[in-house]
């Protein structure tokens, strides 16, 4: 095992037999895929613990040449398998993920998470914060694609939950949070967002009407960027196997346009969370896999 993870699957440039210490370290950005099979705080539809498996399997239909983006994948990436999560304990699982991502960062490898419930994003960002010059996220803009704000302080008495993840991330002092595709929120969350000027919102309805203002804003960002995609940002017609589906969402083409707008940014991490199915070939899993595929395709063209 490597980094406390299981054996790699399809996305594997580093095989099970490789000694991690032999991975070539250089100044170029390298990417490390980690599956996070955990869904113990999910409040509606469980199953995202199987996400890493089915999302990897979904990549089998993809070619190394990305026809849509007209580019060959030439970014350097490794698959370090799945985190050994602790069922029922979100905080300890986040701690373990944070330690694992810290190991990646020490070897000049940025994380790509495949989830798994959205709560685990905070574990990766905590590692990034602790390995920064200021021990926080003040130099990083969080690009958050989601149907929900997920920024309530506690959910059913729990501070560490899929519904509180953006509040825990906000506690790490990011430069800005850009919430994209939002169409479900509590009154408390709306009041919190209104009272903090470093949270910017692009609701799903406004994007469907005209995506250009969002694209222009993303292109104007001048800080480091972390991208987090909850698959429920998509309309359930494109991604039905979700923890909390909400109608009237974005399309996969909208998400691709967003990734293209960010491709030249200094991206420090990427995740695709909340694929909730154990069925191979599920459309949600294949679409999630396509987002990872497109991201890696774009990272090699900068």
- For 90-141, where are the alpha helices, taking DSSP H only? 90-106, 121-130
d(CA 221, CA 182): 20
Which pLDDT score is estimated for 251? 98
The predicted pLDDT at position 114 comes to 96
CATH architecture of 20-299: 3-Layer(aba) Sandwich (3.40)
What is the reported pLDDT for 13? 35
pLDDT at 150: 87
To the nearest 10 degrees (0 to 180), the angle between helices 212-220 and 252-262 is 30
Coil, strand or helix at 194: helix
Given a cut of 50, the residues of the chain with pLDDT beneath it are 1-18
Tokens 């039905």 -> residue = 240
pLDDT for the residue 76:
86
264 C-beta neighbours (distance < 10 Å), count: 11
Quote the CA–CA distance of 35 and 33 in Å, as a whole number: 7
Q: For residue 159, what pLDDT is reported?
A: 73
Query: Which pairs with CB-CB distance under 8 Å and at least 24 residues apart come from 252-256?
Result: 252/287, 252/290, 252/291, 254/181, 254/207, 254/211, 255/145, 255/229, 255/291, 256/68, 256/294
Per-residue model confidence (pLDDT) at position 61: 83
Please tell me the predicted confidence (pLDDT) of residue 163: 78
Q: What is the C-alpha separation between 232 and 146, in angstroms, rounded?
A: 6
Q: Identify which of 46, 181, 167, 14 has the alpha carbon closest to the alpha carbon of residue 115.
A: 46
pLDDT value for 116: 85
């Amino acid at each position: 095992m490597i980094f406390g993870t299981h054996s790699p699957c399809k996305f594997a440039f580093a095989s099970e037999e490789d000694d991690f210490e032999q991975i070539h370290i250089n100044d170029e950005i390298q990417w490390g895929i980690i599956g996070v099979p955990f869904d113990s705080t999910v409040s509606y539809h469980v199953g995202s613990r199987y996400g890493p498996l089915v999302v990897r399997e979904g990549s089998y239909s993809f070619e190394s040449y990305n026809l849509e983006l007209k580019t060959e994948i030439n970014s350097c990436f490794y698959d370090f398998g799945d985190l050994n999560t602790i069922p029922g304990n979100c905080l300890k699982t986040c701690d373990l993920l944070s330690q694992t991502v810290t190991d990646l960062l020490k070897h000049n490898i940025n994380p790509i998470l495949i989830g798994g419930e959205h709560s685990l994003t905070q574990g990766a960002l905590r590692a990034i914060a602790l390995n920064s010059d200021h021990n926080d996220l003040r130099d990083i803009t969080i690009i958050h694609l989601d149907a929900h704000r997920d920024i309530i302080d506690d959910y059913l008495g729990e501070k560490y939950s899929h519904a509180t993840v953006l509040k825990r991330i906000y506690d790490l002092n990011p430069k800005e949070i850009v919430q994209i595709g939002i169409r479900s929120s509590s009154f408390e969350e709306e009041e919190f967002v209104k009272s903090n000027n470093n949270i910017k919102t692009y609701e799903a309805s406004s994007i469907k009407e005209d995506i250009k203002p969002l694209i222009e804003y993303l292109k104007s960002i001048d800080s480091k960027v972390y991208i987090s995609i909850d698959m429920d940002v998509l309309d359930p017609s494109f991604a039905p196997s979700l923890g909390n589906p909400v109608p009237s969402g974005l399309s996969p083409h909208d998400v691709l346009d967003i990734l293209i707008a960010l491709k030249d940014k200094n991206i420090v991490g990427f995740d695709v969370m909340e694929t909730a199915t154990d069925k191979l070939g599920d459309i949600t899993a294949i679409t999630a896999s396509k987002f990872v595929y497109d991201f890696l395709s774009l990272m090699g063209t900068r």
